[in-house]
Structure 1
Amino acid sequence: MAEESDQEKTEEPTAKRLDDARKKGQIARSKELGTTAVLVASAAALLIFGDDLGRQLMEVMQQQFTLDRDDAFDTTKMFGVWGEVLSHIMVPIIGIFAVVLVAAFVGNSLLGGMNFSWQAMAPKFSKMSPLKGFKRMFGPQAAMELFKSILKVAVVAAVAIWLVSVFLQDILYLSIQDLPGNTYDATELLGWIFLGLCCSTLVISMVDVPFQKWNHNKQLKMTKQEVKDEFKNTEGNPEIKGRIRQAQREISQRKMMSEVPNADVVVTNPTHYSVAIKYDTEKSSAPYVVAKGADMIAMHIRKIAKEKDVPIIETPLLTRSIYYTTDINQEIPEQLFVAVAQVLAYVYQLDLHQKGKGKKPKPLDKELPIPPEMRY
């Protein structure tokens, strides 16, 4: 089949297509969002740990620039100095790295969530194709990257100019301050300016995140034929499923019909419905349905019942009540116990009479006790 154009992919991606794409590592990602999170977190960490870091660096510098004559000629002194320097700056440095590490993890997982895919790590020779590379260079993704680059330069430059104008007097004041006060103030000032510049990248992220979601959805869109094919592959061909259901119904009906000869009685509508009832105290504490059906199936049940000498009783109201309220192998509802008991008692008495062991029973009451809510 010829490759279908994007214009023909009008259907939203299905859950299966989204899941398959995720397994391949194809999820919506925004590099700008991750970059912004790292930059803002770095600026925040600098503000949190910057003062301590500045004090520790000042102490290190004072120690290292104050040397005795013996220390200056001691070739092993340098190795001891490293440990002293690390002991001073380790805590603020670890704090800054920890904040940046968490921000990098969270920022890159905000859009698309966490995902690990071996397929995404596998080499793809299609990426080496010059034709596809040319398409990527002049495609919508490349145009978006160009737009973001221009936007970055414009936004960051504008914010930088604004921040310099706001903090100009503070920057100039640093030159006339005494040490170490100007060092601490410079660290704090640098942190706030850096935070302002980093926050300016939020504008780029606000543009990039919706675009990446839209572009990801656009790449996964499907044609109507793809949706149909996927449905066939996942749910099965409707024609095959129909044949399977038909075969299952036939098997179920054959099994049901095999139970009709074991029934104690078959009640009928008399033409549209038939229900075969069995009362076996070893299997159930109440009478239960072994077979039921309407129209052709009802006729088949009556036919088997006649062939196997199973009593057939015409009780239209009771038959409809059982048919609509009770499934196969399910006990008769409690509301119908009295009516069913009368039918079974009549059948048992009739059987005894036919065997010469009892009197002929009175005709079954046409108005059996059936509650109004059980009448159909």
Structure 2
Amino acid sequence: MAEDVDQESKTEDPTPRRREEARRQGQVPFSAELVGSLVLVAGVLGLRYLGPDLWATMITVFRADLPRVGREEFGTAEAAELLGRTALRMIGAMLPFFGLLLAVGVGASVAQVGFQLNTEKLEPNLDKLNPVGGLGRLFSLGSVVRGLLTVAKVLALAGVAYYVLNGRGGLIASIGMGRIGEAAPVAWALVMRLALYLAGAVALVAVFDYAYQRYKFEQSLMMTKEELKQELKQEEGDPHVKARVRQIARERTKRKMLSEVPKATVVVTNPTHYAVALRYDSNRDSAPVVVAKGKGAFALRIAKRARESGVPVLERPPLARALHSVREGQQIPSALFRAVAEVLAFVMKMRGGTL
């Protein structure tokens, strides 16, 4: 009852950090029913398509080796040699089939949980030996769902068997009365049809089990408002998180400034330590505006972008240092009007009287 009340208080969606912690602890949605059903389907399909070759190999081996058994010179050494060779040939013939089962089983497991080794799952947990906890798990919602899935599986198998075998009583009787050479292919086809339908029914039930496991996993990750508040507080106080946020903000600002450089009227440089891009449009600006600025490597990037865009780049070290103190997007202070006016006049002269 307390668990239900606790679950009702978990109304907040899990954060990425909570999901990562759960995965690190080995808590992932996993359906053993789905793995088993896929292996079963693979086994039936493998027998259907590889079975004839496997049967032919067995017949060839027995026809070649069994006649030797009745000979007088057939002793213990010959028997051991025959058994060893026969076993190797049979194993070689069955390897593709068992390899298919192994690949499907491993693939179905990895597709659900990924590649991870969690040692916490291997540590002994004394809580699992608690009889009170065992009774709680016995009468939990998960046990009810597993019971319903088991009932659904039994009903599905019974329904499929009835569907496949209904009306085929005469065929089954003829198999028992016919010669083995004629009856074997008919029996094999009927068995394969029944097995394929049964495997499909099991797989269908397993899909519902996987959906329930995912639902149960998502519910287990839900957080209370207090848990969410504490986690956000921890993340905000994490110096690594803060540093990462600042780095992302700086990169975003730099990208924005570089996109403004082609719109600039002129770029003033130090030449290698500072670079400041100025825009002056008499129709919209009452004074020149700093649209981008940088120092060091970023100053070189601004100058390079300006040259690529056809924006004049002028070396004015004292002016570049003074302009670098102005924030991007702001007009230059009146104290720099005269120096900047001289730069703009020079640019106007370069362009034939226009900015």
If the TM-score is normalised by the length of the shorter chain, which range does it land in? 0.5 to 0.7
Tell me if the contact between 1:54 and 1:183 (Cα under 8 Å) persists in the aligned partners: no
Tell me if the contact between 1:335 and 1:370 (Cα under 8 Å) persists in the aligned partners: no
1:317 corresponding residue in structure 2: 286
Tell me if the contact between 2:164 and 2:193 (Cα under 8 Å) persists in the aligned partners: no
Q: CA deviation at 1:66?
A: 6.7
**Pair 1:196 & 2:197 matched:** yes
**Which residues in structure 2 correspond to 1:1-376 (within 5 Å)?**
5-62=6-63, 63-64=65-66, 67-70=69-72, 74-165=75-166, 167-236=168-237, 281=270, 283=272, 317-318=286-287, 321-322=288-289, 325-327=291-293, 343-344=338-339
Q: CA–CA distance in 2 between the matches of 1:345 and 1:83?
A: 96
User: Counterpart of 2:29 in 1: which secondary structure?
Assistant: coil
Taking structure 1 as reference, are residues 345 and 39 closer, same or farther at Cα in structure 2, changes over 3 Å only? closer
Backbone CA RMSD of aligned residues: 3.9
Tell me if the contact between 2:276 and 2:292 (Cα under 8 Å) persists in the aligned partners: no
Taking structure 1 as reference, are residues 322 and 41 closer, same or farther at Cα in structure 2, changes over 3 Å only? same
Taking structure 1 as reference, are residues 10 and 342 closer, same or farther at Cα in structure 2, changes over 3 Å only? closer
Q: CA–CA distance in 2 between the matches of 1:202 and 1:15?
A: 31
Tell me if the contact between 1:53 and 1:92 (Cα under 8 Å) persists in the aligned partners: yes
Q: CA deviation at 1:27?
A: 0.3
Q: CA–CA distance in 2 between the matches of 1:346 and 1:96?
A: 84
Taking structure 1 as reference, are residues 335 and 280 closer, same or farther at Cα in structure 2, changes over 3 Å only? closer
Taking structure 1 as reference, are residues 88 and 165 closer, same or farther at Cα in structure 2, changes over 3 Å only? farther
Aligned residues: 282
Taking structure 1 as reference, are residues 370 and 160 closer, same or farther at Cα in structure 2, changes over 3 Å only? same
Cα shift readout 1:163-202 (whole Å, capped 9, x = no counterpart): 2226544433333443445445444443332222111112
Q: CA–CA distance in 2 between the matches of 1:280 and 1:102?
A: 63
Q: CA–CA distance in 2 between the matches of 1:196 and 1:285?
A: 75
2:256 corresponding residue in structure 1: none
Q: Which amino acid aligns with 1:145?
A: R
Taking structure 1 as reference, are residues 5 and 183 closer, same or farther at Cα in structure 2, changes over 3 Å only? same
Q: CA deviation at 1:24?
A: 0.7
Taking structure 1 as reference, are residues 317 and 194 closer, same or farther at Cα in structure 2, changes over 3 Å only? same
User: Counterpart of 2:105 in 1: which secondary structure?
Assistant: helix
Q: CA deviation at 1:335?
A: 8.5
Tell me if the contact between 1:50 and 1:187 (Cα under 8 Å) persists in the aligned partners: no
Cα shift readout 1:78-125 (whole Å, capped 9, x = no counterpart): 212213422542343111101111111122233344432122222222
User: TM-score, normalized by length of structure 2?
Assistant: 0.67
Q: CA deviation at 1:5?
A: 0.8
Q: Which amino acid aligns with 1:110?
A: A
Taking structure 1 as reference, are residues 322 and 25 closer, same or farther at Cα in structure 2, changes over 3 Å only? same
Cα shift readout 1:231-275 (whole Å, capped 9, x = no counterpart): 11122189xx8xxx9xxxxxxxxxxxxxxxxxxxxxxxxxxxxxx
Tell me if the contact between 2:274 and 2:294 (Cα under 8 Å) persists in the aligned partners: no
The runs of 4+ residues in structure 1 deviating greater than 6 Å are 285-289, 330-333, 339-342
Q: CA deviation at 1:60?
A: 4.3
Taking structure 1 as reference, are residues 179 and 16 closer, same or farther at Cα in structure 2, changes over 3 Å only? same
User: Counterpart of 1:110 in 2: which secondary structure?
Assistant: helix
Taking structure 1 as reference, are residues 288 and 148 closer, same or farther at Cα in structure 2, changes over 3 Å only? closer
Q: CA deviation at 1:286?
A: 6.5
User: TM-score, normalized by length of structure 1?
Assistant: 0.63
When Rg is computed on C-alpha atoms for both structures, the one with the higher figure is 1
Tell me if the contact between 1:47 and 1:192 (Cα under 8 Å) persists in the aligned partners: no
Cα shift readout 1:48-80 (whole Å, capped 9, x = no counterpart): 1111222333344554377434156x2323212
Q: CA–CA distance in 1 between the matches of 2:192 and 2:277?
A: 82
Taking structure 1 as reference, are residues 136 and 89 closer, same or farther at Cα in structure 2, changes over 3 Å only? same
Q: CA–CA distance in 1 between the matches of 2:142 and 2:197?
A: 28
